Amino acid sequence: MVYSINAMDFESLLDESVKIHGHLCPGQMLGVKMSMLGLRKISIEDPKGKDKKNLIVFVEMDRCATDAVQSVTGCSLGRRTMKFMDYGKMAATFVNLKTGKAVRVIAKEEAREKAREYFPEKDKYKAQLEAYRVMTDEELFEMMDVNVQLRPEDMPGRPLMRVKCDVCGEYVQDMREVHRDGKVLCKPCAEGGYYTVEDKSAR
């Protein structure tokens, strides 16, 4: 679906995001509004059409809002247009590759409590659902102009090179290898990974 961000309303984008994410939640609300704001600020009007090659987004959370950012922007890890930074922050940076303009949008923590002021009769979750629809960007977000230095190996497209790890024999692409003591290592072999290999001989 090709569209102009400026021509689509929040509710339409939210409906599309909820279909992908699977349910409506405050994170979807924030992610959609965060994306609309970020795209406007970097002058990206058609992220899934004519502007799709001009956009990269850095997301700092692996939460509901990230699905919303992907839905609105069309950016994804597989296309290398979405970069996941594991900071645990409700924030995202939108980069216009054509102009170099980049803006980081951060959800305000105080917006959670302000939502209760809008709908004091509702529980916290429902208050956020209702309030985030009507709260202004200024109430929901902080923004900062930032400079993002993108390396050639981080850009979309075919891998620049592939090398074999001298320890495990697996291949590493996009220059993510580690050079140590004259050896080429993958990051798990050099620094430890999120997994350990089971000793099947002990079974």
Six token digits for residue 182 = 């004259």
pLDDT value at position 121? 86
Q: What is the dihedral of CA 121, 127, 132, 136, to 10 degrees?
A: 30
Answer whether residue 87 is part of any domain.
yes
Q: Are residues 169 and 146 in the same domain?
A: no
Does position 200 have pLDDT exceeding 90, yes or no? no
Answer whether residue 109 is part of any domain.
yes
pLDDT value at position 135? 93
Q: Are residues 131 and 176 in the same domain?
A: no
Residue labelled with tokens 């400026």: 6
Q: Are residues 33 and 81 in the same domain?
A: yes
Q: Are residues 82 and 127 in the same domain?
A: yes
Q: What value does the mean pLDDT of the chain take?
A: 91
CB-based contact 73:39 (threshold 8 Å): yes
pTM: 0.88
Q: Are residues 116 and 180 in the same domain?
A: no
Mean per-residue pLDDT, 107-133 = 89
Answer whether residue 156 is part of any domain.
no
Answer whether residue 81 is part of any domain.
yes
pLDDT band at 2 (very low <50, low <70, confident <90, very high): very low
Q: Are residues 53 and 88 in the same domain?
A: yes
Does position 23 have pLDDT exceeding 70, yes or no? yes
Counting DSSP H helices and E strands in the chain, the numbers are: 7, 9
What pLDDT digit, counting tens, does each position of 54-80 carry? 999 999 999 999 999 999 999 999 999
Looking at residue 180, which CATH number applies to its domain?
3.30.60
Q: Are residues 70 and 138 in the same domain?
A: yes
pLDDT band at 203 (very low <50, low <70, confident <90, very high): low
Q: Are residues 88 and 119 in the same domain?
A: yes
Answer whether residue 96 is part of any domain.
yes
**Of 92, 139, 78, 96, which Cα lies nearest the Cα of 114?**
139
Looking at residue 36, which CATH number applies to its domain?
3.30.1330.130
Does position 124 have pLDDT exceeding 90, yes or no? no
Q: Are residues 92 and 140 in the same domain?
A: yes
What pLDDT digit, counting tens, does each position of 152-180 carry? 999 998 999 999 999 999 999 999 999 99
Answer whether residue 157 is part of any domain.
no
Query: How many angstroms separate the CA atoms of 10 and 151, rounded?
Result: 34
Does position 1 have pLDDT exceeding 50, yes or no? no
pLDDT band at 184 (very low <50, low <70, confident <90, very high): very high
Element (H, E) at 35: helix 26-41
pLDDT value at position 201? 67
CB-based contact 168:197 (threshold 8 Å): no
> What letters, b where the CB count within 10 A reaches 16 and e where it falls short, cover 9-36?
eeeebbebbbeebeeebbbbbbbbbbbb
Mean per-residue pLDDT, 103-127 = 90
Element (H, E) at 107: strand 102-107
Does position 6 have pLDDT exceeding 60, yes or no? no
**Of 172, 137, 150, which Cα lies nearest the Cα of 58?**
150
The domain tally of the chain equals 2
Give percent of the chain above pLDDT 70: 94
Query: Is residue 188 helix, strand or coil?
Result: helix
**Residue range(s) defining the domain that contains residue 75:** 5-151
pLDDT value at position 185? 97
Answer whether residue 171 is part of any domain.
yes
Answer whether residue 24 is part of any domain.
yes
